[in-house]
Chain A
Amino acid sequence: MTGYITPFVLAFAVFATAFLTIDVTIMSLQGLSLIFQP
């Protein structure tokens, strides 16, 4: 089980960080921040 959970958690952290970075980049290219600023 450890042989699955550890790589899953690590990979999840990496991919989630990558996706958030992409989100921030694409939103800023549209002149917006990721978090809503009224």
Chain B
Amino acid sequence: MAITIGLADGQVSAWDQQAGLPADGASAAQEAAGNAATYVPPPKLTLTDYPRMGFLNGRVVVWLAAQMHLWFAAFILAVPIFVFIIEAIGMATRDRRYDQLAYEFIKISIAAYSLTAILGGFLLFCLLIFYPHLTQYLATIFKDAMFYYALLFFLESACLYVYYYGWHWLQGGMRKWVHLTLGLVLNAAGTTLMFLANAWLTFMMSPAGVDEAGAFRGDVWAAIHNHLWNPINLHRFIANIAFGGSIVGAYAAFKFLSAARAEERAHYDWMGHTANFIAISALLPLPFAGYWLAAEIYAYSQQMGITLMGGIFGWLFIIQAVLIGTLFLAANYYLWCAMGRSDGAVRYNRYVKYLAIVLVGAFLVWFTPHTMVLTNAELKALGGPYHKILGPLGIMPAKNMAVNVMILFTVLSFLIYRRANKIAQVPWVKAGNAAQAALFAAGLSNIFFLGIYHGYFTNTVYKVASSIPQVVTTLLVIVAALLIDTVMYRGAREVAPLRWGRVPERAQYALFLLPVAFTWLMGLMGYIRSGIRQHWHVTGLVRDNSADAFTPTLGYAANVVSVGAILFMGMVIFVFWLSHVSTARPALAASRMESTA
């Protein structure tokens, strides 16, 4: 990277300074000293340090490249996780359907793997073109990590290609265990790649391993293991699974709607249901991981935290609430429609409207804003900046209660779906049902007690601290309810075989809505996470002095994210089409042969 461009003799370019290289004409001793690992602070950038390229806006190009890469990376990291689990279930139950389902899931992601790499390369080129000094600064610090990151792609690719192309070859006995192990190594490589990349962006938000001037101290682990690294790792790991599940669910929905035969409809109905289950299972703990991330952002920098949710980006969290509420409503709607597969679901249909009322109510609370954008006349008419009755619903305690309620009622929808086709045979069914009802009632009471008392009658310290027992209550209710249900329905009698394929087509549109909402949401949240750095490339160390060193309007940001989401959806449709034609060809050839016979 020691490229000197148009410099006079003896001058040291900004890039050479960063690499710690001595000026031209230095003595051998000085050169030896320079070769030792000494690091200098990052250069102070000026407007001329940001190359321009025609009419392109470098910030938007890098923004879109990064976001597109991230969407695809999330997908191809997630799919091997649940493919591995489904394959393991198939081995444990010796049910070949699971093995075939796992194979079909991994097939969808193969084309996406190449697109991820292409977009990653494009992103790297864009960073080098539009932000060369920042990129070199980061490369100086993370050079070891970046080198091993590149090498890990060899391992990941090798594992993925043998895992996929060798699926039918590595069947039976010890071979299957080898195959499963390959899946495990694939996941380990992919997760490590994500963790390494996460370090770069979290370093930009919460730099570590550098001195006050930004000069690297030489310990790359310190730079990797910065304050926000683990919260991002956890949030992205869980979110990837939810996102990946929703994408394959959309594929299954597309195949369901275009299925010609009843067996195909049944197969893709089952596939969609499994994908929805994966997406929802990961969606349930996701708000807690996001809350931890936000809390750690606050802990690192109060200014960043307040900008995040109390400042300019606060309204984007209202959009977030709308999108997450959409996710929950769509997922629940799918489950309610899916109850139609069972002849025994008629017993539970009357509860659906109560579930819907509670979910919609919680949704409304969640996206109620606090501070309104008002004219002076409106301010006077309202009697202040907040609505007297709805204002209290605009603060976090109300949101925490709402999200915990939505999570618990989604679990309730799932429990009802699960037992729709079963008749319990244990003698203590009534007591078991009463216990489950009491569990939910006690849990919800506790959530409301913590939310209302600590949220509105104590101070901020108690308010924030009480969110932890709230989370624990929700998680315990979920675990205990599932345990009671499992024991209660052990040996249960089936009402009738589940009629896979007997689900209204509108349920498939719920499966389409899930990845669209997820994609948009990820784009929005990614923008916020980057945007709270405001005028810093690296918080407090490398100032952004480009022409784009400003926070764009929310509308502009939403438009850029929307354009990206549409581009991504187009590419995903291309991936689905590739998967579709790769299975359609043999049938097409067979029908041609029949017609010419």
Q: Is the CB of A19 within 8 A of B446?
A: yes
CB distance from A3 to the nearest CB of B (A): 5
Does B457 belong to the interface (CB within 8 Å)? yes
Counting chain A residues whose Cβ lies within 8 A of the other chain, the interface size class is 20 to 34
- Residues of A with C-beta under 8 A to B442: 11-12, 15-16, 18-19
Q: Is B459 an interface residue (CB 8 A)?
A: yes
Q: Which residues of A contact B469 (CB under 8 A)?
A: 19, 22-23, 26-27
A27 contact from B465, B473, B476, Cβ within 8 A = B465
Within 8 A of A (CB), among B451-470: 453-454, 457-459, 461-462, 465-466, 468-469
Most buried by A among B442, B445, B459, B468: B442
Q: Which of A6, A9, A23 contacts B450 (CB 8 A)?
A: A23
Q: How far is the CA of A30 from the CA of B467 in the complex (A)?
A: 12
CB distance from A27 to the nearest CB of B (A): 6
Asked if B114 CB lies within 8 Å of chain A CBs, one says no
CB distance from B472 to the nearest CB of A (A): 6
Interface positions of A from 2 to 30, Cβ below 8 Å from B: 3-12, 14-16, 18-20, 22-23, 26-27, 30
Contacts across chains A and B counted by CB atoms under 8 Å: 71
Across-interface contacts of B450 in A (CB, < 8 A): 23
B431 touches A3 (CB 8 A): yes
Q: Is B437 an interface residue (CB 8 A)?
A: yes
Q: Among the listed A14, A19, A38, which residue makes an inter-chain contact with B459, where contact means beta carbons less than 8 Å apart?
A: A38
Interface residue from A15, A23, A26, A27 paired with B438 (Cβ < 8 Å): A15
| Bound Cα distance from A19 to B442, whole angstroms | 8
**A4-B430 in contact (CB<8A):** yes
- Complex Cα distance A30/B462, Å? 10
Measured CA separation A23–B468 after assembly (Å)? 9
Q: Are B472 and A12 in contact (CB under 8 A)?
A: no
A4 partner residues in chain B, CB cutoff 8 A: 430-431, 433-434
- Whether B443 is near chain A, meaning CB under 8 Å from some CB there, is yes
- CA of A8 to CA of B430, assembled, Å: 10
Whole-angstrom distance from the CB of A19 to the nearest CB of chain B? Answer: 4
Report how far A3 CA is from B476 CA in the complex, Å. Answer: 25
* Chain B residues near A3 (CB-CB < 8 A): 430-431
Residue positions of A touching B, CB distance < 8 A: 3-12, 14-16, 18-20, 22-23, 26-27, 30, 32, 36, 38
Residues of B within 8 A of A (CB): 430-431, 433-435, 437-439, 441-443, 445-446, 450, 453-454, 457-459, 461-462, 465-466, 468-469, 472-473, 476
| Cross-chain pairs A/B with CB under 8 angstroms, 13 sampled | A3-B430, A8-B437, A11-B435, A16-B446, A19-B442, A23-B469, A27-B465, A27-B466, A27-B469, A32-B465, A36-B454, A36-B458, A36-B462
